[in-house]
Homo-oligomer: A and B are copies of this chain.
Amino acid sequence: MTIRVVVTGGTFDKQYNELAGTLTFGETHVEQVLERGRCRLDVAVQVLMMKDSLELQDADRARIVAAVRGCAESQVVITHGTDTMVETARAIASAVTGKTVVLTGAMVPFAFGSSDGLFNLGSALSFAQVLPAGVYVAMNGRWFAWDDVRKNRELGVFEAIRTR
């Protein structure tokens, strides 16, 4: 079983540009994360785009949906900015069936010491292996169905919409 990992950017992959003093995108850090985790899963990493999720357009989401639908794998993990992760999950859910798709990201760039990215990718890859077909968000150690999750921007965490 191979797990497809689709990289779309987001805080997870931001890095500090020391000449400009700004946060930018360079290469993805997903391979570093997998190496750090001594990951031995069969993983196919695909860098689809490197974007802040607030800047994603409909055409970008269409490309993400197409990547998920078109790949050979039935387990897909997507690294994504947290701000519109739920919106992308919804777009995928409306177009993809029969696959387990898990979106994850980070509140702090992996390149910075205090990042949650390593924890989150470990979590997302695990959920992708055992959850039934469907579209999910994996953040804060939890999993959420795509239609029962929102980002609480005040707290910087994800939560269920319905009482559970």
Contact = CB atoms under 8 A, between A and B. Distances in A.
A116 B11 contact: no
A37 B142 CA distance: 11
Nearest to A41: B141
Interface of A: 11, 16, 18-19, 21-23, 33-34, 36-41, 83, 107-109, 111-116, 118-127, 129-131, 138-143, 153-154, 156-159
Contact of A141 (B22, B39, B140): B39
A126 B127 CA distance: 6
Contacts of A83: 21
A33 B38 CA distance: 17
A41 B157 contact: no
Contacts of A131: 130
A140 B40 CA distance: 5
Contacts of A123: 37, 122-123, 125-126
A124 B21 CA distance: 22
